[in-house]
Amino acid sequence: MEHQQQHPVRLRINGQDREFNVESWVTLLDLLRERAGMTGTKKGCDQGQCGACTVLVDGKRINSCLTLAVMQDGREITTVEGLATGDDLHPLQQAFIDCDAFQCGYCTPGQLCSAVGLISEGQATSRDDVRELMSGNLCRCGAYPQIADAVIKVLDMRDTKKTTEGFTTGAVLS
């Protein structure tokens, strides 16, 4: 039996530093699920076409099934388990509940991570933008209208907070 070479990989997963020894072909998805215990990240198509495996790497959304774990050495990874702060849900998690944005729930972790990344990117300003920019995340149950509602709700809350903060700090709007 041939010994397979393993490579050290250091990741910061959901705020915790973790170290692994992995073979060069291990995907980030498989490392997260099988070795790090982050089973919220789902394996859907394993070809980057469904978005169920979406996680944030250094704040940017990626399909974890399409990247090798060794390529992410030294990066910060956020999975759905890392979105909440203690018992306080992330605003998007609460909005998904409020808007009934899931049915079977299989795609929900990827949808949530994708939506967090989308909002951070700052390019979505309308429902059409949200639908287009999240088109790589599939929902077999067809909860797209509710998912878009949840994302828009958080975008609106964020915009309202920015506007309110502007007025309370005495900023002049031109």
Residues forming a β-bridge with 6: 23
Domains of the chain and CATH, by start: 7-164 (3.10.20.30)
- Residue by residue, pLDDT tens for the chain (174 residues) are 566 899 999 999 999 999 999 999 999 999 999 999 999 999 999 999 999 999 999 999 999 999 999 999 999 999 999 999 999 999 999 999 999 999 999 999 999 999 999 999 999 999 999 999 999 999 999 999 999 999 999 999 877 765 545 444 333 332
Q: Helix 91-98 vs helix 108-121: angle between axes, to the nearest 10 degrees?
A: 120
Q: How many Å apart are CA 53 and CA 79, to the nearest integer?
A: 9
CB 139 within 8 A of CB 126: no
* Cα Rg of the chain, angstroms: 18
What tokens were used for 103? 């049915």
- pLDDT score at 76: 98
DSSP string, 29-89: HHIIIIIS--TTS--SSSSSSS-TTEEEETTEEEEGGGSBGGGGTT-EEE-GGGTSBTTBP
Alpha carbons 154 and 174: distance in angstroms, whole number: 25
Q: Rounded distance, CA 90 to CA 4, Å? A: 40
Letter string b/e over residues 38-69, b meaning 16 or more CB atoms within 10 A of that residue's CB? bebbbbbeeebebbbbbbbbeeebbbbbebbb
Mapped onto helix, strand or coil, the DSSP state of residue 146 is helix
